[in-house]
Amino acid sequence: MTDVQTLSAQEGRLPQTNVLPGAHSARLQALAAALWEAIRSGDAARARSAFFPLAAYQQLKSIEDPTADWRDRLLREYELDIAAAHELLGSGATGAALLEVRVPIRYAHWVKPDVCYNSIGYYEVPNSRLVYRERGEVRSIGIASMISWRGVWYVVHLGAVLQGEEGVVDQPAAGAGVSEYSATC
């Protein structure tokens, strides 16, 4: 495991805090870089550190089997979405460069315990953007939803909050794209 992966896994075992993550932290940049490398290479394992940690999800959810839900639904969809984003890049994938991750912090909101089958609260921010350059052109894709754990943003839904059996690329756009508010949970 990389240092960022190890840190994410360790933090997932610790109790939640009510710290609102920032939009420009070095940690967020490292997690976005890991996610981008996975999209660019098509290797979803490289982005595991950017995904909401299993141990945190086990603490967060008040459902019968949070481990199975995390593995069989959330992680599977995340991996499918990474593959779809890689396919969107096409033959230019290896040369595509991440420019920035844009987090619309004005849309961040606290999700209270007992809402959406949660036993504890967390911050959620919808519709962040990965802005990149491919073949000289600036383009972007969305991150449908990120949630906080101990003051760090993690991706929980990359392509879509609700999706089927195929990967989804959230609002690909020429340029930096636009983040709009949407309530997810």
Q: Splitting the chain (185 residues) into consecutive groups of 10 residues, what average pLDDT does each group show?
A: 62 89 95 98 96 96 94 97 97 94 96 91 96 97 96 96 91 94 73
At position 12, the amino acid (one-letter code) is G
- Which sequence spans correspond to the domains of the chain? 3-174
Cα distances (angstroms) measured from residue 11 to each of 45, 126, 162: 19, 22, 27
The pLDDT of residue 91 is 92
Which two tokens mark 112? 């209270």
147 vs 67: CA distance, rounded Å: 17
The pLDDT of residue 183 is 73
Task: Identify the CA nearest to 116 among candidates 61, 52, 55.
Answer: 61
The pLDDT of residue 181 is 81
Structural Rg of the chain based on CA atoms: 15
The pLDDT of residue 185 is 65
The pLDDT of residue 108 is 96
The pLDDT of residue 164 is 82
C-alpha 76: how far from chain center: 13
- What angle is formed at CA 121 by the lines to CA 118 and CA 122, rounded to 5 degrees? 110
